């Protein structure tokens, strides 16, 4: 199992631990993270959740092998799939979620941060949402939230061109709270999560809901629209070329597509 979980001092920790594949997320890992979030939601002793990765890598995003192995009939959205279960649990949990971005955060590694409440990033991290370069489209509300946070033209850099961005850029854009030295980011995020032990949980819960209320419905609608397109794009020849190129360690060739 490549997800480690545990509860200590009122904080439920979800640690992504598959360093040999740069913390790429498999179906089983999404399932484990969804279950951990549901358990945190149900456990009265848990006041906050901490999501973290490994030194130098937070997550390289969805496992590209899993993307490639989708069978016929999987070209449409499946709200019961583990990735949807995980993101639904993340968006729906009423306890604060703190992220310690220990290193590179790619694809859903960055998208999930948009749905965390407090985000701390290692000074060695890079963030990226390179969906277009993979023949895909943005996912889980990012096409709505990212332009709102950073404006249309900077969102185009990140989502149309897929340019990586620095932890400082993430702070400026309002995606992250602060940049920490790589060796301190997890402890800092944990200390922040532990602060919720001293706050009244009812007021925290209601305030978290209020902070997300204005955009909640639009986010869910956008996720449905993005999800349909994403599922179609996963089966596109453009995506196949991109996935094959990744594993063949070469540049993709999109010159034959129109």
Mark the segment that binds ligand COA (CB under 6 A) among 69-77, 82-90, 102-110, 208-216: 102-110
Residues 104-123 that bind ligand COA (CB under 6 A): 104, 106-107
Q: Which of residues 33, 64, 77, 118 is near ligand COA by CB under 6 A?
A: 64
Neighbouring CB atoms inside 10 A of 62's CB total: 24
By the rule CB under 6 A, 29 interacts with ligand COA: no
CA distance 32 to 102: 20
Q: Which is nearer to ligand COA, 96 or 135 (CB)?
A: 135
CB of 243 to ligand COA, least distance (A): 9
SS3 for 186?
A: helix
The interaxial angle of helices 142-150 and 201-234, nearest 10 deg, is: 120
Q: Which is nearer to ligand COA, 24 or 48 (CB)?
A: 24
Q: Which is nearer to ligand COA, 33 or 93 (CB)?
A: 33
By the rule CB under 6 A, 63 interacts with ligand COA: yes
Q: Which of residues 60, 142, 143, 222 is near ligand COA by CB under 6 A?
A: 60
Burial of residue 245, with CB atoms counted within 10 A of its CB: 0-12 exposed, 13-18 middle, 19 or more buried: middle
Residues 124-183 that bind ligand COA (CB under 6 A): 130-131, 134
The CA-atom distances, in angstroms, between 33 and each of 40, 132, 186 are 10, 26, 18
CB of 121 to ligand COA, least distance (A): 15
SS3 for 73?
A: coil
φ, ψ at 244 (rounded to 5°): -60, -40
Query: Tokens for 248?
Result: 């063949």
Residue ranges binding ligand COA (CB under 6 A): 21-22, 24, 60-65, 104, 106-107, 130-131, 134
């Amino acid at each position: 199992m490549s997800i480690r979980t545990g509860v200590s001092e009122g904080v439920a920790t979800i640690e992504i631990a598959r360093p040999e594949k740069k913390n790429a997320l498999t179906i089983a890992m999404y399932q484990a993270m969804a279950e951990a979030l549901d358990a945190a939601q149900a456990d009265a002793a848990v006041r906050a959740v901490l999501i973290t990765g490994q030194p130098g890598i937070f997550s390289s995003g969805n496992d590209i092998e899993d993307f490639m192995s989708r069978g016929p009939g999987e070209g449409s959205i499946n709200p019961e799939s583990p990735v949807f279960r995980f993101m639904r649990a993340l968006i729906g949990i009423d306890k604060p979620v703190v992220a310690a971005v220990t290193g590179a955060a790619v694809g859903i590694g960055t998208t999930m941060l948009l749905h965390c409440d407090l985000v701390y990033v290692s000074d060695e991290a890079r963030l990226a949402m390179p969906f277009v370069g993979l023949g895909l489209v943005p996912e889980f509300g990012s096409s709505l939230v990212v332009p709102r946070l950073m404006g249309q033209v900077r969102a185009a850099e990140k989502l149309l061109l897929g340019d990586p961005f620095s932890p400082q850029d993430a702070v400026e854009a309002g995606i992250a709270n602060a940049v920490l030295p790589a060796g301190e980011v997890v402890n800092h995020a944990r200390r922040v999560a532990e602060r919720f032990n001293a706050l009244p949980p009812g007021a925290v819960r209601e305030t978290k809901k209020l902070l997300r209320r204005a955009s909640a419905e639009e986010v869910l609608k956008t996720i449905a629209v993005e999800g349909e397109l994403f599922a179609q794009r996963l089966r596109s020849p453009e995506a196949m070329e991109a996935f094959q190129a990744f594993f063949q360690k070469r540049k993709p060739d999109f010159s034959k597509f129109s």
